[in-house]
Structure 1
Amino acid sequence: MSTRHMSGRRAQATGQAAKIIAVVADVMGVVLGLWILMYLLDANRANDLVRFVHDVARWLAGWSHDLFTFDEAWARVVSGYGLAAFVYVLVGHAIAGRLRRY
C-alpha cells in the first residue's frame, strides 16, 4: 500500500474523530442549555423528560454546579450550568480543530 494512500486513510480517520468529538461536545452543550431553559421556564420536575435532562445536566455540570454563590437560584443555575456548557463546547471544538489540522 502506498504512503499516500495510508496518509489519506489517516486523514479521513482523524477527520471523522474530530467530527464525533465536535458533535459530542455540541450535544453536551445542548443538554446543559436545555436544562437552563427548562429551569427558567419552571418546567414540571415530575415530568420524565425534564427529570432525565436535569439528571444528565447535573452529572455533566457536577464540577461547576453551585460553583457560584449568587443569592438568586436562577443566577446560580445559569452561571453553573452555562459555564459547563461553554467549557465543553469550547474544549470539544478546540480538540476537533487540532485533530483536523493533524
Structure 2
Amino acid sequence: MSTRKANLGPTAAVITVIADVAAFIIGLWIVLYLLDANEQNGLVEFIHDVSRWLATWSHDLFTFDEEWARVVCGYGLAAVVYLVVGHAVANRVRRL
C-alpha cells in the first residue's frame, strides 16, 4: 500500500462520519416530529434547527396534503442523500 493511499483512509472515515451524523440528526428530527415532541424544548428546537439547515434544499420539496408526509419525505430524502453521497465520496477517496 502506498503512503498516499494510507493517508486517505482517515479522510474517508471523516467523510463517512460527517455524512452519518447529518443523516442521524435529520432522522432524529423525523422521529421527534412523528412522536409530537415539545418544540419548545431546547433539545428538540436545536435538532429541528440543525435538521432544517441540513435539509434546506429538500424540507419543502413535496406538497402532500398531510404535514407528516411532507416532513418524512422532505427530510427523509435529505438523510438518504447524505448517506448515499457521503459514502460514495468516501469510497472514491479510499480508492485514490
TM-score range, shorter chain: over 0.9
Q: Using the alignment, how far apart are the partners of 2:71 and 2:7 within structure 1? A: 38
The one-character-per-residue Cα deviations of 1:9-55 (angstroms, maximum 9, x if unpaired) are x2222111000000000000000000000000000101100000000
Q: TM-score if structure 2 supplies the norm length?
A: 0.96
User: 2:42 maps to what in 1?
Assistant: 48
CA RMSD of aligned residues (A): 1.0
User: 1:76 maps to what in 2?
Assistant: 70
Q: Using the alignment, how far apart are the partners of 2:93 and 2:55 within structure 1? A: 25
The higher radius of gyration belongs to 1
Q: Using the alignment, how far apart are the partners of 1:44 and 1:12 within structure 2? A: 46
Task: Structure 1: give runs of 5+ residues left out of the alignment.
Answer: none
After TM superposition, what 4+ stretches of structure 1 lie above 2 angstroms from structure 2?
A: none
Count, aligned residues: 96
- Secondary structure of 1:27's counterpart equals helix
| Percent pairwise identity | 64
User: 1:13 maps to what in 2?
Assistant: 7
User: 1:98 maps to what in 2?
Assistant: 92
Task: Structure 2: give runs of 5+ residues left out of the alignment.
Answer: none
